């Protein structure tokens, strides 16, 4: 579950890196009360986070339908309450060399999807070339067959220190997925997972558009504003980006699910949805109360 982060600056001021890292330490953000239970859930909206307490999950659950934690099994705190809160857990085969027996034993009953390898084009993440990922994909397919799961592709992003194969260095996530599908031509892939950390909704729309060619539902499994100088990324900046991004994501037919990064993390400023256990930050309250159609909540 734990990961370090790398921020890149690429052309057109688009951040093309990943920022996942589950530091339980929280930032100093204004905190608010748990939203009312009457808030409508978005079937798309989730969170990428792996340190939920039972109280955390309950605080987020009125406006969130799912979460994942980069692991095949839910963390203990969330595991005790998520079913009763009508929030689904999505397991992940993060990397390594998983076996059918190991994955099958860890995935809880009630799961409907299995996320594939996490940023395999990053050497410091799953670190798999397209052919290596394709060679292990039958393991995920067999687990999916046994447990009745849909499979979500390896989660890709632009990177700096990237894997190479056949003379190609896979900085570009689309190039990586093209090579993966070439090596895995008959593989089961029911949706495509992508990550994005630019602070501009126009760039997000462009990025999502790059993956529509696969004609599969898209899962934005990590996103936040992270590509500006850190002293410029305030709570207000994150709020403004969140509102406009979710308005787009909720209305975009190609997006099946999306997950904010993250619950508590100090590597990107002002991204935390959670403060103390069970207490939403100002940003967390906004994330939970934004309407399912992406419109702003009532004052």
Instruction: Report CA-CA distances (Å) from 176 to 17, 24, 92, 190.
Output: 14, 32, 19, 17
Q: Report pTM.
A: 0.88
Instruction: Give the model's pLDDT for residue 38.
Output: 55
Question: How far apart (Å, rounded) are the C-alpha atoms in residues 179 and 175?
Answer: 6
Residue 194: which of 255, 242, 265, 241 has the closest Cα? 255
Instruction: Give the model's pLDDT for residue 39.
Output: 62
**Structure tokens, 98:** 């998983």
**Structure tokens, 17:** 């890196």
Cβ 149 vs Cβ 186: under 8 Å:
no
**Structure tokens, 178:** 């093209």
Q: Give the mean pLDDT per block of 10 residues along the chain (299 residues).
A: 34 36 39 53 96 98 97 97 97 97 97 98 97 98 98 96 97 98 97 97 98 98 96 97 97 98 96 98 97 58
Cβ 269 vs Cβ 234: under 8 Å:
yes
Those residues whose C-beta lies under 8 Å from the C-beta of residue 13, and which sit 6 or more positions away, are 198, 200, 203, 227
Those residues whose C-beta lies under 8 Å from the C-beta of residue 17, and which sit 6 or more positions away, are 5, 6, 7, 8, 157, 158, 159, 160, 197, 226
Question: How far apart (Å, rounded) are the C-alpha atoms in residues 20 and 226?
Answer: 11
Q: Is the dihedral of CA 49, 55, 61, 66 positive or negative?
A: positive
Instruction: Give the model's pLDDT for residue 291.
Output: 87
**Structure tokens, 87:** 């929030």
Instruction: Report CA-CA distances (Å) from 115 to 37, 70, 152, 199.
Output: 29, 9, 5, 25
Instruction: Give the model's pLDDT for residue 208.
Output: 98
């Amino acid at each position: 579950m734990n990961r370090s982060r790398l921020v890149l600056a690429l052309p057109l001021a688009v951040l093309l890196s990943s920022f996942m890292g589950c530091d339980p330490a929280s930032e100093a953000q204004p905190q608010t009360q748990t939203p009312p239970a009457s808030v409508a859930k978005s079937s798309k909206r989730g969170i990428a986070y792996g340190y939920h307490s039972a109280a955390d999950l309950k605080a987020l659950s009125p406006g969130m339908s799912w979460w994942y934690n980069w692991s095949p099994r839910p963390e203990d705190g969330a595991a005790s309450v998520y079913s009763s809160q009508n929030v689904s857990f999505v397991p992940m085969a993060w990397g390594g060399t998983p076996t059918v027996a190991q994955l099958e034993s860890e995935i809880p009953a009630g799961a409907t999807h299995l996320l594939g390898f996490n940023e395999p084009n990053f050497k410091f993440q799953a670190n798999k070339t397209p052919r290596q990922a394709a060679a292990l994909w039958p393991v995920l397919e067999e687990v999916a067959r046994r447990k009745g799961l849909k499979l979500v592709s390896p989660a890709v992003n632009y990177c700096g220190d990237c894997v190479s194969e056949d003379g190609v260095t896979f900085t570009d996530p689309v190039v990586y997925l093209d090579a993966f599908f070439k090596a895995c031509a008959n593989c089961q892939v029911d949706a495509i997972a992508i990550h994005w950390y630019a602070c501009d909704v126009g760039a997000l729309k462009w990025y999502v558009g790059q993956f529509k060619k696969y004609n599969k539902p898209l899962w934005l499994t990590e996103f936040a504003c992270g590509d500006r100088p850190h002293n410029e990324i305030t709570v207000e900046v994150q709020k403004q980006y969140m509102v406009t991004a979710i308005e787009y994501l909720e209305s975009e037919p190609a997006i099946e699910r999306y997950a904010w990064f993250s619950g508590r993390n100090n590597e990107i400023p002002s991204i935390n949805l959670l403060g103390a256990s069970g207490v939403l930050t100002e940003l967390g309250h906004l994330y939970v109360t934004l309407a399912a159609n992406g419109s702003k909540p009532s004052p």
